[in-house]
Amino acid sequence: MKLQMVGCSHHNSSVQIRERLAFSPDQARLALEKWRERFPQSEAVLLSTCNRVELYLAAESPACCPSHHDVVEFVASFHGLNAVDIFDDLFERTGEDAIRHLFTVAASLDSMVVGEAQILSQVKQAYELAQAGNSTGPLTHLAFQAAIRVAKRVASETAINQKRVSIPSVAVADFARQFCERFDDKQVLVIGAGEMGEETLRYLIDEGASQITIINRRRERAEGLAERTAGQVAAWEQLTDLLVEADLVVSTTGSTQPIVTEEQFREISRRRFERPLFILDLAVPRDFDPQIGRYDGVYLYSLDDLSAVCQKNRRARDKEWPKAERIIEEETARFLAELHHRATGPTIRRLKSLADEVKRDELERLLNKLASLDDRSRLEIERSFDRLVNKLLHPPLESLRDEASAGTPHGLLEALKRLFQLSD
């Protein structure tokens, strides 16, 4: 049998490459259909997120599993690309390395933001999509069910998922959640349309935010962000009125001067009637005059406030990392042992069946010649035959189990098949 993964991620490929290779859910469904047509004996699960595109493949016979080159050709053909241009971006993992990689991905140890919760649901969705399209099989079922179990172990037995280390994740989870019990009823204003603002907005949307307004000096950039995420776009000139209505503000512009001075905010505050306002000023230099944080009902946090929490979380997470790695290694070894036992099971059953058949034939022949034996004597002879067969089979079967536990049963397995003429 063979297990393999071919793909790319944020570790080795630029966002431009990942965008060209990404699959929407409809494209993934179509790609898996085409995969079944081209490689009918190969199981497949396609995982495509903003940070990775990975094909997990398996086959009972290694000859039925496509090569690295075959997979690259398939992906390139689907997207209308030249395989030569993307070959170096699509790396391969096989066997134990492929399983370890899957477990690491599902547990969010390979994510851009380690510990983020989205990846496990994305792994589940990819598996369910492949199941719905009949692209999975025994090996991928075992692998992905184990990956989900591993991710849950890492989440429950370590604090990796609790130690957020990106500015946007800390901004929402460690700061905004203290201010808001819920987000679906809050007026959210996003000022600026850069990467930091987009990532923070995505976290807010995941928390339930839906009343979102985006403004940017270049309106087309705000419109692009709204298309990629959610919300409506307003004109930059409406900034003051929008600040009057907002409950939560995320500001990430590239302005060299504050976009809201204390003098400007004085009028805004008067119109708000001291209604609480939470401001995440993630810009450098700062978008909001620090003195604004002194106003009643205003909770103003800058990048420095969040960075301090990020550093503290990173140190705490680093302490948890070895625990998570040990879980990955334990579960990888456990999975491979189960897989190898599964591989040796049919041969063991066939060998026992052959021995039982020979034993029955010889026992029947002997007992027919000794027809005058009483029942007690017949039973003792049958037990002697059973013990003889068990003692003869015990050493080779014990050796096969030991090899399976060590992950190297294939040589001995093939030798037993040839010695005892056991057909597949």
What are the domain boundaries of the chain? 2-157, 167-310, 341-419
Between 372 and 71, name the one with better pLDDT.
71
**Cα–chain-centroid distance for residue 74?**
22
pLDDT value of residue 192: 95
In this prediction, residues 185-209 reach a mean pLDDT of: 93
**CB neighbour list of residue 172: distance below 8 Å, 6 or more residues apart:** 200, 203, 204, 207
Asked if the model's pLDDT at residue 408 lies above 60, the reply is no
pLDDT value of residue 356: 86
Provide CATH code, domain 2-157.
Answer: 3.30.460.30
Class of the domain covering 167-310 = alpha beta
Label residue 345 by pLDDT band (50, 70, 90). Answer: low
Q: What is the DSSP letter of 288?
A: B
CB neighbours of residue 364 within 10 Å: 9
Per 3-state DSSP, the chain is made up of helix, strand and coil in percentages (nearest 5) of 60, 15, 25
Catalytic residue among 50, 65, 180, 310: 50
Each residue of 110-151: pLDDT tens digit?
887 677 777 898 999 999 999 999 999 989 999 999 999 999
Asked if the model's pLDDT at residue 36 lies above 70, the reply is yes
In this prediction, residues 184-200 reach a mean pLDDT of: 93
Each residue of 233-281: pLDDT tens digit?
999 999 999 999 999 999 999 888 999 999 999 999 999 998 999 999 9
pLDDT value of residue 40: 93
CA distance 34 to 343: 29
Q: What mean pLDDT, rounded, does the chain reach?
A: 88
pLDDT value of residue 132: 94
**CB neighbour list of residue 347: distance below 8 Å, 6 or more residues apart:** 400, 413, 416, 417, 422
pLDDT value of residue 371: 82
In this prediction, residues 186-190 reach a mean pLDDT of: 97
8 assigned to active site? no
Site of tokens 């690309």 = 81
**Most confidently modeled of 110-124, 245-259, 355-369, 409-423?**
245-259
Label residue 82 by pLDDT band (50, 70, 90). Answer: very high
Asked if the model's pLDDT at residue 223 lies above 90, the reply is yes
Asked if the model's pLDDT at residue 91 lies above 60, the reply is yes
CA distance 119 to 160: 14
Phi, psi dihedrals of residue 35, rounded to the nearest 5° = -60, -45
